[in-house]
Structure 1
Amino acid sequence: MRVLVIGTGGTIASAKTERGYKAQLGIDEILEMSGIERHDGLIIDCWDLLNVDSTLIQPEDWIKIGKAVFESIHDYDGIVITHGTDTLAYTSSALSFMLRNVPVPVVLTGSMLPITEPNSDAPGNLKTAIKFAMDGIPGIYVAFRSKIMLGTRVSKVNSLGLNAFQSINYPDVAYLKGDKIIFRRKISFSGETVFDPALDPEVAYLRLTPGLSPETFLAVERTVHGIVLEGYGAGGIPYRGRNLLEAVSVAAKKKPVVMTSQALYGGVDLTRYEVGRRALEAGVIPAGDMTKEATLTKLMWALGHTRNVEEIREIMRRNVAMELSTELF
């Protein structure tokens, strides 16, 4: 059994400095400090690809990580990627769109406490990730607090607590109990392995708030190729007092405007309310029950392939990497 661990930095690789925690440890050091043993024929190779705080991760880094995985998947039984927690869900989603039908488990993990600190959660998370990389099923996943979650369904829900990630609108795939992986949901990907790294990072993410002006929206719209608008609840755009709907309607004719929800669970249904139906008529593209991370990275990925709004609408409604529970109308 051969597993590759790719390091990208983050809290798991951090040590205390005069200016706070900073990513600086290599994978070999992390594995040694975690007490991860190579036994019973297990071979663990290490690759320190990056070593940065995940706040500093950029879309170009997703491509670099994806390329490293693609070049390695036929040499290993599983791959683990250590990553900072702040942008881990964005990376797992982006990799899921760029790397499809991988033939081995690819598991992202990290920790909320550095490996250098007492009672760090790093050893447990690494153990879960490596165990699933050995015994799991092909696909892109996140391992955290003994849980295995699908890469396109994960969001960070706690900024400090150890149980920092949840699977949104989709059950956990599996969990580690003792030394055994217990499956809750069997997933099957089929087809040729594809590395499709086309990304356009010129996407803005705007949160709808009372008082958001059409002028502000259009000022942002002029600077980007697409917009994710985080709406209220099931979705809708205000037109009373400040007619944001009119501005969105103008923008949506030229550029994709995708609506997701500020609510963590449930997703967007623009057919439910009158304000939602008006948004649909204005050309807004619903995100369904995708996470905010999957919505943003999928739009970047779609824009990497086309600028045509109708073609992007078709891509966004199609289930590419199990990011949607059902394909959208």
Structure 2
Amino acid sequence: MPEIFFSYAHLDNELSEDNTHQFTDAVDHFRRVYTEIRKNRARPLAEDELFFDQHSIRDGDLITKSTTDAAKECLVMLAFFSPNYFGSEGCRAEWRAFNDEQKRGSAERARKLLIPIEVRPVDDVQLADEEGREWFTALTTADGLRRNITSEILLAKDTGPLYAAVEQLDKTMDDHVTRVRGSSRGTEQTLGNVLVVKTPIRRNSLNDPAIAEDLTDAPGMKWDRLDPVCVVYAGGTVGMVHQQDSDELHADYEMAAGVDTIVRYLRPKIAPLPFNIHFFSLLQTIDSSNVTAANWVDLATLLQEQMSNYQGFVILHGTNTLAYTASALSFLLSDSITQPVILTGAEVPLSVSNTDAVHNVEHAIRTAAHQAYNGPVRIPEVCVYWNNQLFRGNRVTKKYASDRTASFHTPNMPVPLGTLANDRLAIDYEHVRRTPPDAAVHRQPQPIHDIAKPRVEVMFIHPDMDFSDLEARFPPEMIDGLILLSYGPGNAPEDRDFLSMLDRLLSAGTIVVNITQCPYGRVELKLFETAATLFDLGVVDGYDMTLEAAYTKLLWAIARHGNRKQPGVREEIRKKFQRCVAGEMSASVYTVSFGPSQTFHPHDGYLVSDIPKFDGEVDRHDITEVFLRLESLKLPRDVTTAKVRVLFGRPPDTDAPEWAGNVLAEFTKTITAAERAAGEISKNLEITHPFRKCFRNEGFDVSLCVEGIDEVEFTSLSVVIYTTAAWGRGK
């Protein structure tokens, strides 16, 4: 219900073009001034804050129930009195409803405030009945603020005195409304479901005595049987408002002074929601262009601390690096997230009439409220809500520099997690992470790894690159990780300086990752030898991850495993990076390396490998692709063709037809002049179908022979297995 009720006679609000000396639409004129003052004070009028009935009521008509209810429930009545006003039965009925409700309240509370404003002088109005005389006296007695706006001030073309008077009046009304609501230090209490905590979050915890006092002193809220939703304003356009001294044509914007300012714009949309909402703000709001890994660690620490206290979380963030923050949080919370964490923002400032902030924030909050009646299913992921779609946070990247409707997209995840239709969020359950019903009870908080410590750099591959100074730009002892943004499906130059630099970095323990610089698609080992060359060096396959996901995941993987230079740690980091951790890639990648030929054992004309350590996570039904990589098979100078066979397991004892069941790959290669000069060949082969038939979800060995060559020698033989991303299915 409205807080402020305009009671007036419609005859006092008729615009006349004949009068050039005074405003004749007195009430509309007052409302325009009041609206502008509220906007300039970063407290714009909400849709339901003001009751202003524009329908004319003739004598003898009954005022509508909605008008009566508004007069009863409002906290302030502005009575624009005049001879016309005192002659209106409708205006008397409005005052009667207001006055009767006031009399029912206790004297101590003084819940309702009547403020008369003179539209026309009233010298002597004859009202014979007692109620009429009480009405007349209440509005015309000159004490305090009852005559602080006279008709001369209200109607004059010089609006300076009126602005000054309305500014004072606004403060009086705001103080009254705040007192009636029962505010306490640090909080703006509201009737209903919204609690604004004005004490800012100093770093990464709500365990602050001032915040605890704010929350403890809050009155009982409406939906106390449900866990509330936590909203944290971190910064960005979503919380920007007009600077007080700027005008409409030359608008300047600034961060809102407090989260209470943001809530004033949101209240009309969120007040009816059937759950409670707690609003917080960071002490140091973040311009998203200045975001750091330390900010991500602080946010993740805060979210993990409060994971069991709220049914969901909403982070209001700037759009420039929103995708980075969403990706970072998804990895930092991957072991402990049990509730939805929704990031959103805006392209248009909050105080602009066509802002997208209100829609995005409202629906992000609704998405987080899975306990509410008709709320969505619980989505225990870090997500991004934008316009009408809900995306997985670590698949998002910015599509347009500035676009209200399509700023973000997930190019390699074509189906969003949810789509708003008919004011309800339709969830695509097939893609939502599945967890056991009691996961929130049994899952224990895990350490938030300090991803601010590792140093990860990004190299964008482009033509005419100068590789001569790579050693200085990327010193191996300083760089913990390097992400290559390569051409197409993972190709990079075969420049000797470039490859030597990569070899030095990898030898020093630096983790090098290869992702495509294209928005759509992935690194593909099978297509080009240049991509396979990076694989042979030890560069990690980033598959179809976005840059934002790859960058933050590499920080997390390095921070999680400690010193990358220790024996075995580098391989653990590589292995973890190629697994789908939080739905960030369409497949997990398992590389089974069988080593060089010297580690194989001769058996009946074959070289047979040992069975390497295999973690057993792969189910053959999840396999999507398998490739075999044979690197640098040495060839005698006189060989013109090479016939190669690779078996799954050991060769059978007899040369029987059923051998075909064990064959992973068999090919005949005509040796080119360049290959003969090099004395070696390398080969990529797809072996998905035969491997899936032979594989039994456990470690395996392979056998290789080259027809016509007795002493077979090669640098390495590897099998690369791609599986569907099991994370999304709750595994």
> TM (normalized to structure 1)?
0.93
Give CA-to-partner distance per residue, 1:20-45, whole Å, 9 cap, x none.
64433433322321333233542110
CA contact (8 A) 2:458 2:482 kept: yes
In the alignment, residue 514 of structure 2 is paired with which amino acid? M
Tell me the distance in 2 between the aligned counterparts of 1:159 and 1:196.
35
From 231, 238, 248, the counterpart of 2:502: 248
CA contact (8 A) 1:237 1:245 kept: no
Question: Does residue 82 in structure 1 map to residue 316 in structure 2?
Answer: yes
From 406, 409, 412, the counterpart of 1:169: 412
Question: Does residue 178 in structure 1 map to residue 422 in structure 2?
Answer: yes
Match of 2:230 in 1: 4
Tell me the distance in 2 between the aligned counterparts of 1:267 and 1:80.
31
Match of 2:589 in 1: 328
In the alignment, residue 9 of structure 1 is paired with which amino acid? G
- Aligned-residue sequence identity (percent) comes to 30
Match of 1:315 in 2: 576
Match of 1:106 in 2: 341
In the alignment, residue 250 of structure 1 is paired with which amino acid? R
Match of 2:650 in 1: none
Equivalence map 1:188-227=2 (5 Å)? 188-190=433-435, 192-198=443-449, 199=451, 200-222=453-475, 223-227=478-482
Q: In the TM superposition, what is the alpha-carbon distance from 1:230 to its structure 2 partner?
A: 0.7
In the alignment, residue 503 of structure 2 is paired with which amino acid? S
The SS at the match of 1:271 is coil
- Counterparts in 2 of 1:54 and 1:22: CA distance versus 1, 3 Å: farther
Tell me the distance in 1 between the aligned counterparts of 2:273 and 2:494.
65
Q: In the TM superposition, what is the alpha-carbon distance from 1:16 to its structure 2 partner?
A: 4.8
In the alignment, residue 4 of structure 1 is paired with which amino acid? C
CA contact (8 A) 2:523 2:541 kept: yes
The SS at the match of 2:234 is strand
- Counterparts in 2 of 1:183 and 1:41: CA distance versus 1, 3 Å: closer
Tell me the distance in 1 between the aligned counterparts of 2:358 and 2:340.
19
Deviates further, 13-22 or 102-111: 13-22
From 117, 123, 146, the counterpart of 2:358: 123
The SS at the match of 1:111 is coil
The SS at the match of 2:232 is strand
CA contact (8 A) 1:15 1:25 kept: no
From 527, 530, 534, the counterpart of 1:275: 530
The SS at the match of 1:142 is strand
In the alignment, residue 573 of structure 2 is paired with which amino acid? I
In the alignment, residue 540 of structure 2 is paired with which amino acid? I
CA contact (8 A) 2:483 2:515 kept: yes
Q: In the TM superposition, what is the alpha-carbon distance from 1:224 to its structure 2 partner?
A: 2.2
Tell me the distance in 1 between the aligned counterparts of 2:421 and 2:384.
16
Q: In the TM superposition, what is the alpha-carbon distance from 1:288 to its structure 2 partner?
A: 0.5
> TM (normalized to structure 2)?
0.43
Q: In the TM superposition, what is the alpha-carbon distance from 1:185 to its structure 2 partner?
A: 3.7
Give CA-to-partner distance per residue, 1:156-184, whole Å, 9 cap, x none.
11111111000231120001223311012
In the alignment, residue 459 of structure 2 is paired with which amino acid? L
CA contact (8 A) 2:326 2:382 kept: yes
CA contact (8 A) 2:456 2:479 kept: yes
The SS at the match of 2:544 is coil
Give CA-to-partner distance per residue, 1:265-324, whole Å, 9 cap, x none.
112123320100111111111110111101000000011023133222111111110111
Structure number, greater radius of gyration: 2
CA contact (8 A) 1:267 1:288 kept: yes
Gaps of 5+ in 2: 1-225, 370-375, 591-731
In the alignment, residue 33 of structure 1 is paired with which amino acid? Y
Indicate the RMSD between aligned Cα atoms, in angstroms: 2.0
In the alignment, residue 5 of structure 1 is paired with which amino acid? V
Deviates further, 143-152 or 38-47: 38-47
Match of 1:302 in 2: 557
- Counterparts in 2 of 1:188 and 1:116: CA distance versus 1, 3 Å: same
Tell me the distance in 2 between the aligned counterparts of 1:89 and 1:99.
15
Deviates further, 259-268 or 176-185: 176-185
Match of 2:272 in 1: 39
Match of 2:327 in 1: 93
Match of 2:256 in 1: 24
The SS at the match of 1:239 is coil
The SS at the match of 2:394 is coil
The SS at the match of 2:348 is coil
